[in-house]
Structure 1
Amino acid sequence: MRVAVIGKGGAGKSVISGTMARVLARDGRRVLALDSDLLPGLSLSLGAGPDPAEPPLNDAAEQDENGRWRLKKGIGPVRAVKRYATDAPDGIRLLQAGKVPQAGLEPIMGSINAFYRVVHRLPDARTFDDWTVVGDLPAGPRQIAFGWAPYADTYVAVVQPSAQSALTARRVARIARSRDGARAVFVANRVTGPADVRHVEEMIGEPVLAAVPVDEAVARAELLGFAPIDHAPDSAAVLEIERLVTALADE
């Protein structure tokens, strides 16, 4: 299974992707979590703590004589994961593009470019053939359109019961489905009941694969910076994400 989680900002992508990764790892899979969002989220949702202060992949990148970024000689997906990924609970390896510091994008440009090149070579790295990959993408269509998740065979579009969220989810799913062999499914998030689920399905024009309820325990976990699966493992939201993982595996 190779999944990328997409949708509007604030839809809950990091909680869903982080919890999915933990569920898959607990099922005995080797999991690589890929974080291309330049804002914080996935590391905390995984239970891996705050993001590293230094851009993880800066040391893997160099500029050529024309100033273009490239991977240093000898660095490919296998070595990048071995050297620059960090450990997360349940044996997950987390590879991040980097987070925007106060100084802006310039200090992390090497790391961002290295990450992009690593994920583009990932599908050809036989070492990862038996790994499960879960990617957390930033809000909106840009990274999907520009190929930041070439590893994904399934895109999970997270949508809240609002017109703005549904419109974004439809757009990003359409872009994802334009990629050869890729499928896109919808997950309703923070729904209050069946009426919200029906409203989401009417707005997106198709059934959702899962409906994650509003959950005070998950909101509390996010407030405290904890992984929902650690803070509230039996919460309704976590249990529904577990069902989502099963549904994805069965499709």
Structure 2
Amino acid sequence: MRIAFVGKGGSGKTTLSALFTRHLARSGAPVLAIDGDINQHLAEALGHTGTALDAPPLGAHVHAIKEYLRGTNPRIPSADAMIKTTPPGRGSRLLRLLGDDELHARHVRRVGDVPLMVTGDFDESDLGVACYHSKLSGVELYLGHLVDGPGEYVVVDMTAGADAFASGLFTRFDMTFLVAEPTRKGVSVYRQYRDHAREFGIRIAVVGNKVTCEDDLLFLKEEVGDDLLTHLVQSPWVRAAEQGREQGELESSNVHALNVLRETVDALPKDWAATHAHAVEFHLRNARAWADARTGEDLAGQVDPGFVPGPPVQS
């Protein structure tokens, strides 16, 4: 299952992404974390210290990723003709989670017990000439070609606010957890996400964070209603960990909240056809809007009719 954590800047979405990923990893579940935020702090939240993580960023190797993923797909004559929304077809290289392939070997590094891939920083050379969504192309292509199996998890820490809706990446997830503090600003991003998600049938659930009292919880319930799935209380353990003083165990109420998140994800049906249909829809939108003109190709022809990625059907 592919899980996104989104929310207002400062809501704690990176912290929740790290907590949930470590929770899954410590249970023995196959899990991959991806830092898709413009502020690359997930490695630190997972416990990395010292020099910068030596993970080659996806955003800096998009051309090589395209070249690898297109495989022998006859509908994609070159990596230059492939854009971030290009869906897989017959001949494309489909990935298994943490598989023995060159993409995982190049980009995955372990932080403690968690495998991690990073998008890469938005650096000085990008200022005025690029948007961060171009760096997310690698994440979108990776998820578009990933065939994840039962009990496997990809957890992505997404950009803050509603920026994820600037591309079709938001449709690549089986569940989006929106992290909200019990404040008016904290729930404002929820309203934006709710309206966009409903338009496309995207599953979202709100996770309250930094709850300190009953009034905080009542506020969240009044503002988001049935979309409030669970909440985490203000955590001295998290504060200590952020200060480099991780000790003891996460509070039992917050462990319970992480269990609720996992149970919710595990109960979801995997709908490969719907996921692929979304991918095709946004590919065609991009083709018409800009990509046909930029590549000089009719990119609608990259869609392989009747092809849906997914695990083999058992007879």
TM-score between the two structures when normalised by the length of structure 2: 0.65
Q: 1:234 to 1:140 in 2, by over 3 A?
A: closer
Give me the CA root mean square deviation: 3.1
Match of 2:87 in 1: none
* Secondary structure of the corresponding residue to residue 154 of structure 2: strand
Match of 1:162 in 2: 183
1:211 aligns with 2:227: no
Q: Is the 8 A contact 1:159 1:187 kept in 2?
A: yes
* Secondary structure of the corresponding residue to residue 28 of structure 1: coil
Q: 1:203 to 1:214 in 2, by over 3 A?
A: same
**Equivalent residues, number:** 236
The structure where strand makes up a greater share of residues is 1
Match of 2:105 in 1: 82
Greater gyration radius: 2
Q: How far did residue 94 of structure 1 move? A: 1.0
Alpha-carbon displacement from aligned partner over 1:28-79 (angstroms, at most 9, x marks no partner): 21111111102132112222346537862365234xxxxxxx7452256653
Q: How far did residue 199 of structure 1 move? A: 0.4
Counterparts of 2:234 and 2:131 in 1: how far apart (Å)?
A: 38
Counterparts of 1:212 and 1:60 in 2: how far apart (Å)?
A: 37
Report 1:32-181 matches (<5 A). Answer: 32-49=32-49, 51-52=52-53, 56-57=57-58, 60-62=61-63, 71=65, 73-74=67-68, 79-90=102-113, 92-101=114-123, 103-105=124-126, 113=134, 115-126=136-147, 128-130=148-150, 131-180=152-201
Identity %: 25
Q: Is the 8 A contact 2:8 2:160 kept in 1?
A: yes
Match of 1:186 in 2: 206
Q: Is the 8 A contact 1:60 1:111 kept in 2?
A: no
- Structure 2 residue runs without a partner (length 5+): 70-92, 96-100, 269-315
Counterparts of 1:145 and 1:116 in 2: how far apart (Å)?
A: 12
Q: How far did residue 111 of structure 1 move? A: 9.7
Counterparts of 2:116 and 2:34 in 1: how far apart (Å)?
A: 6
TM-score between the two structures when normalised by the length of structure 1: 0.79
Q: How far did residue 250 of structure 1 move? A: 4.3
Counterparts of 1:58 and 1:146 in 2: how far apart (Å)?
A: 15
